[in-house]
Amino acid sequence: MQSTGTIFVWPAPQLVSMFALTAETSKKKSIPSASNADKIILDLCGGSGSWSKPYVDAGYDVRVVTFPDGDVRTYKPPPNVHGILAAPPCTEFSIARNHTIDRDFESGMEIVNACLDIIKKCEPKWWALENPAGHLTKFLGEPRYTFQPWWFGDGWSKRTMLWGEFNPPIRKYAKFTDCPQIEGLYIRPGRKVPSIAFNHKNHKRFIRAFDSFEAIDDAAFRAITSPAFAQSFFIQNP
């Protein structure tokens, strides 16, 4: 790990290789558990728990570590973690943020690095770190996978990046017009696809897939992971 000022950054070219499992370790971890209840999934900075919900529904031992009750900077992970989902706050990295506002990359990377430290310590079978398209590439390099929610059946845009060791989910729709449409979402003039970044908490009522999740404000609403993507990710990473 190298330091840029006081911001600690995992070297981008080595990000994935640092956590790659050896053939021996991978073989050992591929032995199936007696049941899903034996498989621990950490949902770091999990917010509403939307990304990990398919694992909860399938009976996994899911542990959501999120503010205000949980802090990844002080969290002590249990042994034998099966998989890790990490979604550190995008506040300092998102390109959707007002460009006139100063960014605090140091505080943003503190959370990102805390997530990566937990991943390194646990050596899970698979892991993924998510953030909307933005400035996190300056610190982690190019993502392994980038997607839009509508690729999987959720009718809005939110270009999202994933880093990690995981099996990519299988895209379902090649064109937005083939994806189920959601009436009521705001579409900016000149655009054809509603962006979640320009919709608000009061639009949650139009997205029935969000009915299971709480959103206390616009930021929480926009942070809810696409349920269709989450299900597709789960299928490829049991």
Torsion-angle region of 137 (φ positive above 0: left; ψ -120 to 50: alpha; else: beta) = alpha
* pLDDT digits 0-9 by tens, 27-54: 333 333 458 999 999 999 999 999 999 9
Tell me the average pLDDT of the chain.
85
Per-residue model confidence (pLDDT) at position 210: 96
Confidence at residue 34, expressed as pLDDT on a 0 to 100 scale:
56
Predicted pLDDT of residue 83: 98
Half-sphere exposure at residue 212, Cβ-oriented, CA atoms within 13 angstroms: 13
Q: How many helices (H) and strands (E) does the chain have?
A: 7, 8
Neighbours of 54 (CB within 10 A): 20
User: What domains does the chain contain, in order, with CATH numbers?
Assistant: 2-236 (3.40.50)
**60-106: pLDDT as tens digits:** 999 999 888 889 999 999 999 999 999 998 665 666 655 656 777 77
In tens, the pLDDT along 61-73 reads 999 998 888 899 9
Distance CA 92, CA 103 (A): 5
Q: 10 Å Cβ neighbour count for 76?
A: 6
Contacts of 101 (CB under 8 A, 6+ apart): none
Residue 98 vs residue 164, higher pLDDT = 164
Structure tokens at 43: 């949902």
Lowest model confidence (mean pLDDT) among 7-11, 136-140, 193-197: 7-11
Q: What is the pLDDT of residues 126-161, one digit of tens each?
A: 999 999 888 888 899 999 999 999 999 999 999 999
pLDDT of 193 = 97
Cite the DSSP H helix spans in the chain. 15-19, 23-29, 53-57, 105-122, 137-140, 218-223, 227-236
> Residue 196 and residue 115: Cα distance in Å, rounded?
25
pLDDT of residue 223: 93
> pTM for this structure?
0.83
Counting residues of the chain whose pLDDT is more than 90, the rounded percentage is 70
Position 109 scores a pLDDT of 86
What per-residue confidence (pLDDT) applies to 97?
A: 54
Segment 179-193 shows an average pLDDT of: 96
pLDDT tens-digit profile of 217-233? Answer: 998 999 999 999 999 99
